[in-house]
Amino acid sequence: MTTQIEKTIITDLLKQAGITVNGNNPWDIQVHNEQMYSRIFRDHTVGAGESYVDGWWDCAALDMFFDRVIRADIENKIKKNYRLLFKILLARISNWQTPKNAFVVGKRHYDLGNDLFTGMLDQNMNYTCGYWKNASALEEAQLAKLELICQKLKLQPGMRILDIGCGFGAFAKYAAKKYQANIVGVTISEKQAEYAKENCRDLPIDIRLQDYRDITEKFDRVVSIGMFEHVGYMNYHNYMRIVHDCLPDEGIFLLHTIGSNHSVYKADEWITKYIFPHGMLPSIAQIGKSIEDFFIMEDWHNFGIYYDKTLMAWHHNFNQHWDELKLHYGDRFYRMWNYYLLLCAGGFRSRSMQVWQIVLSKKGLTGGYDAPR
Which residues form the catalytic set? 344
Distance between CA atoms of residues 355 and 348, nearest Å: 9
The distance of Cα 67 from the centroid of its chain, to the nearest Å, equals 17
CA-CA distance, 248 to 159, in Å (whole number)?
Answer: 12
The H-assigned helical ranges of the chain are 4-16, 35-53, 62-71, 74-77, 82-93, 104-105, 114-120, 138-153, 170-179, 190-199, 236-246, 269-274, 284-291, 305-320, 322-325, 331-349
Strand pairing category for 160-164 and 353-361: unpaired
Q: Return the closest-CA partner of residue 231 out of 276, 273, 294, 269.
A: 276
User: If we measure between CA atoms, which residue out of 254, 274, 230 comes closest to residue 97?
Assistant: 230
Nearest-CA neighbor of 235 among 100, 49, 51? 100
Please name which of 294, 290, 296 lies closest in space to residue 359, comparing C-alpha atoms.
Answer: 296
Q: How much of the chain is in helix, strand and coil states, percent to nearest 5?
A: 50, 15, 35
252-260 and 353-361 as β-strands: parallel, antiparallel, unpaired?
A: antiparallel
Burial category of 194 from C-beta neighbours within 10 Å (exposed 0-12, middle 13-18, buried 19 and up): middle
